[in-house]
Chain A
Amino acid sequence: MPSKDRIAEPWGSRTPYGPGQGWPTRVDSHLAEGVTPDQVDRWVQSATILHSNGDGLDIAVKDGQIVGVRGREVDRVNHGRLGPKDLYGWQANHSPDRLTRPLVRRGGELVETDWDTAMDLVVRRSKELLDEQGPSALGFYTSGQLFLEEYYTLAAIGHGALGTNHMDGNTRLCTATAAAALKESFGCDGQPGSYTDIDHADVIALYGHNMAETQTVLWTRVLDRLAGPNPPELLCVDPRPTPVAREAAVHLAPLPGTNVALMNGILHEIIRRDMVDHDYVDAHTVGYEELAKRVADYTPEHVADICDVPAERIREAAELLGNAERLMSTVLQGFYQSHQATAASVQVNNIHLVRGMLGKPGAGILQMNGQPTAQNTRECGADGDLTGFRNWSNDKHIEDLAAVWNLDPMRIPHYAPPTHAMQIMRYAEKGSIQFLWISATNPAVSLPELERIRSLLAQQGLFLVVQDIFMSETAELADVVLPAATWGEKTGTFTNADRTVHLSDKAVDPPGEARSDLDIFLDYARRMDFRDKDGEPFPQWHDPESAFEAWKRASAGQLCDYTGLTHEKLRGSGGVQWPCNDENPDGTERLYADGRFWAEPDQCESYGRDLVTGAPLEPTEYKAMNPEGRAIIKAAEYLPPHEKPDGEYPFALITGRTLYHFHTRTKTGRSPQLQKAAPDVWVEISPDDAREAGVSEGDHVEVASPRGVIRARARINEIRSGVLFVPFHYGYWDTVTDEEAGRRDRAANETTVTDWDPVSKQPLFKTSAARLRLVGSGGGVPAPAPTTTASRPVGAGTTETTGGPGAASEERLGGGTR
């Protein structure tokens, strides 16, 4: 089998294919040094956890330890392929600094204790606050990385048993806008498209989506189409010189914060040239006239002034989209974390609706997710949604959920939208939330304006429970730390961005006394002695499989219908797309193929919101607007960003991820090959801006915003002028922080603004103003940024990013298709 350094070649070998053909298989694997496949005791089925793509893989186990991974050839998502984070990231599981015992704060210090002591503290404080203030004193902030069974259990405990409205996931930072945009256009969350649309598309448009780095295997699929006969043409909207931009027929690099203007300009051209499928619009949508009126003023010239993009490029983009016969679109953080996030993302849906590009092979929309199990956080209701895509402002939906749970409907808060993460933090800051339970996420590095977040989490009056696998920057602030099991150490299911459900089986035991998140939540419920209406213990389930069966009942008859699935059916399978039920026993490849939507007033998950003010529509307003449940074309005006560059802070600062890391590097920073590929923070700056600032490649610079300052090394790349980019992965767990000076100057979020989209409530990480200052020479040593990605430097002389012998991975080109 050929060996590849998959750090140096993140997307591996090409297996070209043409439109309508099957994607050839290629089985990627990496085993610990010295281990050969015949020495592996067993292979345990799972899927990838360090991004949102949901690639099927098998975990290699030897002597009770994970020793490697291998892509699943039968899987519909990856056809055997794996990305660098999957090939090397598993090593973090047996990192020596895993949390193995519960910790409680005594005399200011976190000290080890047993589970009874830790859980008793959590239960006692919960009960005290329920007595004093009621459920509004308790909040939960979870993740996009637990399993479906765990989210469903958490949602049932929080929204059902306790009755607090304050529950959200860090999905708020990554996919809240995906969900919001889908609800606005189609009445309900749920990705219309499928990854297989790549096999058929003639145009693929990527909006603020650096697929090459966020979903390497999906990008491999695109690269294989590009290498084959009759390749698709790409449109890329991104201010950075991403690998996607390099392959694009048209690349638009708008000023950060101007996406709505850009989209309105493209729609203006599509409508002006009448590249509209009027039959589809007339039969299946409402709102077209309003859109046509709204975009009438957004001529390419006008938009060019706002976005600083040539008018001609906008026309070319419209030409490309307007002539596509099979148009696929994907959207991610460049839209979701930017000003007017939902309004901009909805315009992508509008392009598909006015062009009638929905439901047929190659014509799909993927409002992408950023995390492996984000879809489950949303569908299970462990975020600002209600379980099973139920509508919080539809009393019938609440009664239905209460019946599933066998609880009194009055216990389920539905007087206002579920509280979103940033508002939960605000309530904690003000002291009305006094108990916050954080699971599998690290807000002390990942939320905006970190000085504020650290200080509010550290408040005396806040009882902070942190459930994690490592001593994160957030765990250090906790009153109780609960050691959790992770992927490979527990069984459960999760669902990717194209609705593919995978099973992840337990391969090895968790370290020490660590327990699965499901066990921890259920233990809490039993100790709290929650009961349903019949006096039976609530939740009524006790392990992953019974939790899944309970979830199926909650999902029955909803768009995300899981009733046709079991753990056993998923075991051995190549992934199944929901809805999977009696009607669709093998799952459903594309939603809305028949032009019917989940948008009828009695059925929809949301009545929608005002795209500018964020105010929810009243049920009567929605019924008047959309009585037949059609797709909704929603127009939006462009508003200037709230924080624009000025004389003092002349740059637009955007943050984002790099190919080799995930989130705050809790796992990828503990995987040697990945850590070496991107070992420390950097800031990207254009050649013109660097010249003006007197900065050379690798120099030490300071990036300051009105909130804070970070120090980093400069990477000069082809990012558009006027924009700085800082990766958000780097916190403090593996640096020395000078406690006396309180110097925390590495995390990008020291500088970011506290502001969010009023519709999706997603924080805006891509519209801060900043200034840059040279601090000192780097002595000619290049910045610690990869050369294989968007951060590729201009000019020669930089050592190429490689993984060395330790990164040797196998590739078996099957040539077969499936």
Chain B
Amino acid sequence: MKIGVALRELYDSESALAGELLRLADRHAKEQEIHHVAQDLVRWSREHVREIVAAGPRYGLDLGNPDLENPEPPTEEAGEIPGEDSGPELLLLADLRRLYRMAAGVSLDWDLLGQGAQVVADPDLLALTKRCHPQSLRQMKWADAMLKTVSPQILAS
């Protein structure tokens, strides 16, 4: 059974998403809506990570207590960050694009876990995916919506 693998994958991707949301809020503090809403949305990812940690032992997984106030920066994504010299506007677009992709990845991971929960007939795990998956989708849609809203002005000016 590889449910544990899927749980660990989600643990990693949700933690990374939480870190990315915080980083976005911090990097674009003067874009007030992004700054505030990103911090609101971190709450969901933190809660998801806590739930994943709680579900871990049933699948032989001890994920410990993650430090979600000061998460590690997402190492594998770091290479995609454009140089600081590309200007704050293009940086904003790049950050929102990356957030979208990360949230989409998390969403997919919840899909996978949901499939797994069904095949092993674990109602608690299935309920967990049903609680968390919609919020990942909302995080993804938010990134998309912000990108659509702010990009025309950046591209035109």
Comparing A12-20, A111-119, A129-137, the segment that makes contact with chain B is: A129-137
A137/B152 in contact, CB under 8 A: no
B145/A136 in contact, CB under 8 A: no
Q: A134: nearest residue on chain B (CB-CB)?
A: B156
- A756 proximity list for chain B (CB < 8 A): 32-33
- B36 proximity list for chain A (CB < 8 A): 642, 755, 758
Min CB gap B100→A, angstroms: 11
B141/A615 in contact, CB under 8 A: yes
A133/B157 in contact, CB under 8 A: yes
A614/B33 in contact, CB under 8 A: yes
Q: Does A311 contact B (CB under 8 A)?
A: no
B152/A136 in contact, CB under 8 A: yes
Q: A133-B156, A416-B152 are in contact. Are A615 and B32 (CB under 8 A)?
A: no
Residues of chain B from 132 to 148 with CB closer than 8 A to chain A in the complex: 138-139, 141-142, 144-146, 148
A614/B148 in contact, CB under 8 A: no
Q: A642: nearest residue on chain B (CB-CB)?
A: B36
- B32 proximity list for chain A (CB < 8 A): 422, 426, 754-756
Chain A: residues with Cβ within 8 Å of the partner, total of: 29
- A419 proximity list for chain B (CB < 8 A): 153
- A136 proximity list for chain B (CB < 8 A): 152-153, 156-157
Q: A613-B139, A615-B145, A639-B43 are in contact. Are A758 and B31 (CB under 8 A)?
A: no
Indicate with 1 or 0, residue by residue over B17-53, a CB within 8 angstroms of chain A CB atoms. Answer: 0000000000000111100110111010000000000
Residues of chain A from 399 to 447 with CB closer than 8 A to chain B in the complex: 415-417, 419, 422-423, 426-427, 430-432
B157/A137 in contact, CB under 8 A: yes
Q: Does B149 contact A (CB under 8 A)?
A: yes
Q: Which of A415, A612, A613, A755 contacts B145 (CB 8 A)?
A: A613
* Complexed CA–CA distance, A136 and B37 (Å): 25
Q: Which of B39, B43, B144, B152 contacts A615 (CB 8 A)?
A: B144
- B156 proximity list for chain A (CB < 8 A): 133-134, 136, 432
Min CB gap B157→A, angstroms: 4
* Complexed CA–CA distance, A755 and B145 (Å): 18
A615/B33 in contact, CB under 8 A: no
Min CB gap A673→B, angstroms: 40
Q: Does A486 contact B (CB under 8 A)?
A: no
Listed residue (A137, A422, A427, A612) with the most chain B CB atoms within 10 angstroms of its CB: A612
Q: A613-B41, A754-B32, A756-B33 are in contact. Are A432 and B153 (CB under 8 A)?
A: yes
B138/A613 in contact, CB under 8 A: yes
Q: A136-B156, A427-B153 are in contact. Are A613 and B142 (CB under 8 A)?
A: yes
Q: A758: nearest residue on chain B (CB-CB)?
A: B37
Q: B147: nearest residue on chain A (CB-CB)?
A: A416
A758/B33 in contact, CB under 8 A: yes
* Complexed CA–CA distance, A416 and B40 (Å): 23
Min CB gap A700→B, angstroms: 33
* Complexed CA–CA distance, A686 and B41 (Å): 35
Q: Does A509 contact B (CB under 8 A)?
A: no
Residues of chain A from 596 to 641 with CB closer than 8 A to chain B in the complex: 610, 612-616, 639
- A613 proximity list for chain B (CB < 8 A): 37, 40-41, 138-139, 141-142, 145
- A134 proximity list for chain B (CB < 8 A): 156
Min CB gap A614→B, angstroms: 7
Q: B38: nearest residue on chain A (CB-CB)?
A: A613
Q: Which of B144, B145, B152, B157 contacts A614 (CB 8 A)?
A: B145
A610/B39 in contact, CB under 8 A: no
* Complexed CA–CA distance, A451 and B94 (Å): 30
Q: Does A165 contact B (CB under 8 A)?
A: yes
* Complexed CA–CA distance, A642 and B89 (Å): 25
* Complexed CA–CA distance, A664 and B152 (Å): 34
A615/B153 in contact, CB under 8 A: no
* Complexed CA–CA distance, A415 and B33 (Å): 19
- A427 proximity list for chain B (CB < 8 A): 153
* Complexed CA–CA distance, A134 and B156 (Å): 8
A610/B152 in contact, CB under 8 A: no
Min CB gap B74→A, angstroms: 21
- A416 proximity list for chain B (CB < 8 A): 148-149, 152
A615/B142 in contact, CB under 8 A: yes
Min CB gap A621→B, angstroms: 9
* Complexed CA–CA distance, A136 and B151 (Å): 12
Listed residue (B31, B33, B41) with the most chain A CB atoms within 10 angstroms of its CB: B33
B37/A614 in contact, CB under 8 A: yes
A415/B142 in contact, CB under 8 A: no
A417/B149 in contact, CB under 8 A: yes
* Complexed CA–CA distance, A489 and B45 (Å): 58
Min CB gap A500→B, angstroms: 35
- B41 proximity list for chain A (CB < 8 A): 612-613
- A761 proximity list for chain B (CB < 8 A): 33
Q: B139: nearest residue on chain A (CB-CB)?
A: A613
- B37 proximity list for chain A (CB < 8 A): 613-614, 758
Min CB gap A453→B, angstroms: 13
- A754 proximity list for chain B (CB < 8 A): 32
Q: A136-B157, A416-B148 are in contact. Are A610 and B43 (CB under 8 A)?
A: no
Min CB gap A609→B, angstroms: 8
* Complexed CA–CA distance, A165 and B89 (Å): 19
- A610 proximity list for chain B (CB < 8 A): 138, 141-142
Given contacts A417-B149, A758-B36, 19 further A-B contacts (CB under 8 A): A134-B156, A136-B156, A136-B157, A415-B152, A416-B148, A416-B152, A419-B153, A426-B30, A426-B32, A427-B153, A431-B157, A612-B41, A613-B37, A614-B145, A615-B138, A639-B43, A755-B36, A758-B37, A761-B33
7 A-B pairs in the complex with CB atoms less than 8 angstroms apart: A165-B152, A431-B157, A610-B138, A612-B41, A613-B142, A613-B145, A755-B36
Q: Rank and list the top 8 A-B pairs by shortest CB-CB distance, nearest first.
A: A615-B145, A432-B157, A613-B142, A136-B156, A615-B142, A615-B141, A416-B149, A754-B32
